[in-house]
Structure 1
Amino acid sequence: MKKYVFLFLGLSLLISSCNNDDNQITNGETPGVTPGSDVVVQHFMWQAMNLWYFWQGEVGVLSDTRFSSDEEYTEFLEQNPNPSDFYNDVLLFNEDRFSFLNDDYTELVNNLSGVSRSNGLEFNLVQFAEGDGIFGYVIYIVPDSDASTKDIQRGDIFTRVDGQELNLSNYIDLLFGSNTTYTLGMADIVDNEIVDNDTEVTLTKIENQVEDPILVAETLDVNGTKVAYLMYNRFLSSFNEELNAAFGEFVADGATELVLDMRYNPGGSVNTSRLLASMVYGTNTSDLYIRQRWNAKIQEQLSDEQLEDYFASSTGSTAINSLNLSRVFVIATNDSASASELVMNGLAPYVDVIHIGETTRGKNEFSITLVDDPGNAFVYSSDRENNINSDNSWGLQPLVGRNENADGFFDYTNGLAPNITLLEDIANLGVLGDVNEPLLARALQEITGVTSKVSFSAQMPAKSFASSRFFTPAKDNMYLDKPLHIDFTQSND
């Protein structure tokens, strides 16, 4: 037997694994594949999930003692020749809503960094009251994208793609398929009805489109109160310095209140969520932000110190700019997930979080990226590209743990409910960052105590069933992204 000591994501793990040359299976050892079998991908998936998956102990086929011989194990792998079906239908826990995979791990990794193939149009989809027809409405346009050069904007409505009426059966292929270019057929709202018009907008997806997650960052002067407003659309570690700079501007402007708008934020980096929370609450490095929970195989080997993350005083290169607030107004909806919810939950023991909007998505698990690199415990590292099996390009993004806050709370699978319920109005989405935009106006009313002149009754409540934000390889993923260091030691049992 070989024993490996991993320094993974800042955690020191002692993991036992069997020698690939072992021919017999005993309790706790990793089964091997019968020579000549074409199950490279399935073998990788089983090994990676057996080690890391949060529900490993509850999925029978992932048990350490499930197979009594290499032949039995190989036969099991061969029963599922389609890797996607094997992963989704065989290996996942039945209550797992969020683990996913990609047949090209490079695409997965790029998307987690905010790089994707996109035309820059972000939208939600709504089903008509009758039939299977649907329509889309634009929620925002990514700056410096193809859509930003076209005559289309927040609030616009479309019902057709390339001349075809959108419905539940065709919208994925038409909007999220392999097509590089498509043409939208636009529509108007007339007497609370969606009515087609003759306008068409052609959009082209651009390779390696980068989205700055900070869409709006400005300080508003509302009846003499300086209110910082941040429209933040994804937790991307590559923009940590820009995020900190935005808070530096808020501090310089003398902001004493903050409206943190994460209504469309599907999540991202756990560490970035910690930095953002520190920019809100303070650089109190003795205060616990979150505590990790792993599967039993991993959890038992970790100390409290290794499992705990505290508020930060630095991004890693610059000092945190913090507003040091005792309360924060958060705009969040059902499109708000994972790291967005983590910020809200992590701040709750220390800060009065006033949630305006809808119940959030309810994604309280984190994930890591796994590739066919057994020498690195299958954890993806950009420094080990040459060690990844060249015959296996699949990448996995399984849920591997949950985060609880300083009070021990983590059970928000059904989402975080708002203090003030307010749906967006498709007929009046408003301009993001404008004091008359309904959700921001409602927050400002709470801050100032002055009744807003804006109507909060929605003419056409935005009850969408899908969002373009969730149709990327990154989806609503919350991932750990601390530095990975590995030290292999070997001993014989």
Structure 2
Amino acid sequence: MKYLKYFALLLLFGNTLTGCFDDNDDVQQVSSTLEINDYIWKGMNVFYLYKADVPDLADNRFSSNQAFTQFLQGFSSPQVIFDALQTKQIDPTSGLPVDAFSFLVDDYVALEQAFDGITRNNGMEFGLVVYENDPNNVFGYVRYILPGTDAETKGLKRGDIFNTVNDTQITRSNFRELLAPDTYSIGLAMLDGDNITPLGTSISLTKVQYTENPVFIAKTMNVGGSPVGYLMYNAFTADFDTQLNAAFGQFSADGVTDLVLDLRYNGGGSVVSAIDLSSMITGQFNDEVFTTEEWNADLQEQFGSINLFKNEIRTGEAINSLNLSRVYIITTRSSASASELVINGLDPYINVIQVGATSRGKFQASITLYDSDDFGRQGADPGHTYAMQPLVLRSINSVGFTDYFDGFAPEIEVTENYSNPGGNSNLGVLGNENEPLLKAALDNILGTRSAKSYHNIQLENIGNSNMYDLNYERMYRDIDLSKTE
């Protein structure tokens, strides 16, 4: 492969590192920290999007084997060297880190499962919000319940509020620790205005391995005499592209004239699935430019590509296209990466009307790098299960727009109302035409929008149930490195 030319200087270094270890085919060798650090540096040196901003990743950084080895030995763990090799640049316009999304895992099997929609889950998909009158305390609200899970069995529902876990108040400093275990108990509460009152009810929940179908709701509604499609899509999960295409097949059969695409809780996923979804919404732009990809200077010629609107999903099945000239997309701060790729890629072609709140701001994608000769899965070092997911490209739409660190602001602003006075939630029922965010989109379709009727009180969201997923708010590119010429 072409990028192996960058190993010319380091090939001897690698031999130096591995020559110190016993070669015994009958004994499973556990990779040393030095060996794993070696793999991390080499992978980042070849693929990292912001390589030019990190002096320690320069091809001529080391003058000798000894200097390279001493550098690697200066890092106590793979995580420490991985963090050190990321750019520390700050975007001058937004004030945000240029790279907030590269990550390293010590169990790539779990990462692969996350990409397939497999997680440990109790079925309670929740958001975490800071108290309006106390910046340290936090409450959770139930976004939706996954079918066939413990949360469904226990009777939890969208709009339920909880403010304690295992009888401990949720705070900014403890929420990750409290909600991480496989089993915990939540204390239900009532939110009325800025007052939170415990209800004295505790519910125990247990996580098990669960595969989530991201096509959560797909239905056609009669809106003013016209068929309008509504799709709540919660992750760009490659394994469910067929189900996504089937939903559009039904929309097509129903003759929908408008589509409301609900990405409010969709943190992203596969770039290919995002291209396919955009092609399903349209269809009239087949083989035209959806986005282009910018890699680092060393790899742009080899990997930089143009993504086109398509007429087939990855299985070869024909895409069910709606040929729409406008689409309504519901977003919140939890809408990230591939969700934003759909907005940015479609915007030059059709009228994209965004409803809800400003999205996350994520335009870069990553790939999985394993510890093998070509960084592909096949031949990965059996001595460890580390894998990297560094940012390797940024996406640019057909008119050159990218670097949307601040996210995309909605044309129609409406926020979710978490309060549940008297136990009656104001969040509404997902997919119901009176659910506030969906209603705002339908009002616009009908021409009856009244901004005064929408809830626009902003409270600070600091996390959600997907924050424990290894691919949380990440966008990844599907590339088989072992087949790259």
Counterpart of 1:444 (choices 442, 445, 459) is 442
Counterpart of 1:126 (choices 95, 111, 129) is 129
Deviations 1:188-220 (A, max 9, x none): 12354111111111110102x111101110001
Describe how 1:62-77 pairs up with structure 2 within 5 A. Answer: 62-77=57-72
Deviations 1:350-372 (A, max 9, x none): 11000111111110000001111
The answer on whether the counterparts of 2:191 and 2:418 sit within 8 Å (CA) in structure 1 is no
| Greater alpha carbon shift after TM alignment, 272-281 vs 194-203 | 194-203
1:26 paired residue number: none
Counterpart of 2:154 (choices 150, 155, 158) is 150
Distance in 1 (CA, whole Å) between partners of 2:103 and 2:477 is 15
Counterpart of 2:406 (choices 407, 414, 420) is 414
* Per-residue deviation, 1:72: 1.0
The answer on whether the counterparts of 1:229 and 1:261 sit within 8 Å (CA) in structure 2 is yes
Distance in 1 (CA, whole Å) between partners of 2:440 and 2:455 is 11
Deviations 1:124-155 (A, max 9, x none): 11122325221111111122222122121111
Describe how 1:33-432 pairs up with structure 2 within 5 A. Answer: 33=17, 35-36=19-20, 38-94=33-89, 95-128=98-131, 129-176=133-180, 179-207=181-209, 209-282=210-283, 284-301=285-302, 307-315=305-313, 316-373=315-372, 375-376=373-374, 378-379=375-376, 381=377, 384=378, 387-427=379-419, 428-432=426-430
The answer on whether the counterparts of 1:233 and 1:262 sit within 8 Å (CA) in structure 2 is yes
Q: Which amino acid aligns with 1:450?
A: T
The answer on whether the counterparts of 2:33 and 2:78 sit within 8 Å (CA) in structure 1 is no
* Per-residue deviation, 1:76: 1.1
Q: Show structure 1 runs of 5+ residues with no match.
A: 6-12, 24-29, 489-493
Q: Which amino acid aligns with 1:148?
A: E
Q: Which amino acid aligns with 1:313?
A: N
1:484–1:242: structure 2 CA closer, same or farther, 3 Å change rule?
farther
1:10 paired residue number: none
The answer on whether the counterparts of 1:31 and 1:70 sit within 8 Å (CA) in structure 2 is no
1:483–1:219: structure 2 CA closer, same or farther, 3 Å change rule?
farther
Q: Which amino acid aligns with 1:486?
A: K
Secondary structure, counterpart of 2:461 in structure 1 = coil
1:18 paired residue number: 8
* Per-residue deviation, 1:16: 4.0
Distance in 2 (CA, whole Å) between partners of 1:367 and 1:88 is 16
* Per-residue deviation, 1:294: 0.2
Secondary structure, counterpart of 1:143 in structure 2 = coil
1:145–1:451: structure 2 CA closer, same or farther, 3 Å change rule?
same
1:135–1:21: structure 2 CA closer, same or farther, 3 Å change rule?
closer
* Per-residue deviation, 1:449: 1.1
Distance in 1 (CA, whole Å) between partners of 2:353 and 2:451 is 21
Distance in 1 (CA, whole Å) between partners of 2:387 and 2:191 is 43
| Greater alpha carbon shift after TM alignment, 318-327 vs 118-127 | 118-127
Distance in 2 (CA, whole Å) between partners of 1:192 and 1:33 is 60
Secondary structure, counterpart of 2:56 in structure 1 = helix
Deviations 1:85-106 (A, max 9, x none): 2212344444311111111111
Distance in 2 (CA, whole Å) between partners of 1:169 and 1:309 is 42
**RMSD, aligned α-carbons:** 2.1
The answer on whether the counterparts of 1:263 and 1:331 sit within 8 Å (CA) in structure 2 is yes
Deviations 1:435-464 (A, max 9, x none): 000110010011011357993135x64531
Counterpart of 1:477 (choices 457, 474, 479) is 474
Q: Which amino acid aligns with 2:400?
A: G
Identity of aligned residues (%): 41
Give the total of aligned pairs: 458
1:103–1:485: structure 2 CA closer, same or farther, 3 Å change rule?
closer
Q: Show structure 2 runs of 5+ residues with no match.
A: 21-31, 90-97, 420-425
| Greater alpha carbon shift after TM alignment, 228-237 vs 424-433 | 424-433
Q: Which amino acid aligns with 2:294?
A: R
1:349–1:93: structure 2 CA closer, same or farther, 3 Å change rule?
same
* Per-residue deviation, 1:469: 2.0
Distance in 2 (CA, whole Å) between partners of 1:191 and 1:57 is 50
* Per-residue deviation, 1:424: 1.0
1:453–1:364: structure 2 CA closer, same or farther, 3 Å change rule?
closer
* Per-residue deviation, 1:32: 5.7
Q: Which amino acid aligns with 2:472?
A: K
1:82–1:463: structure 2 CA closer, same or farther, 3 Å change rule?
same
The answer on whether the counterparts of 1:369 and 1:397 sit within 8 Å (CA) in structure 2 is yes
Counterpart of 1:466 (choices 457, 463, 478) is 463
Deviations 1:249-304 (A, max 9, x none): 011111000000001100000000000000001153231111110000101345xx
The answer on whether the counterparts of 1:330 and 1:356 sit within 8 Å (CA) in structure 2 is yes
Deviations 1:206-239 (A, max 9, x none): 02x1111011100010110111000010001100
The answer on whether the counterparts of 2:290 and 2:398 sit within 8 Å (CA) in structure 1 is yes
Q: Which amino acid aligns with 2:430?
A: L
Secondary structure, counterpart of 1:133 in structure 2 = strand
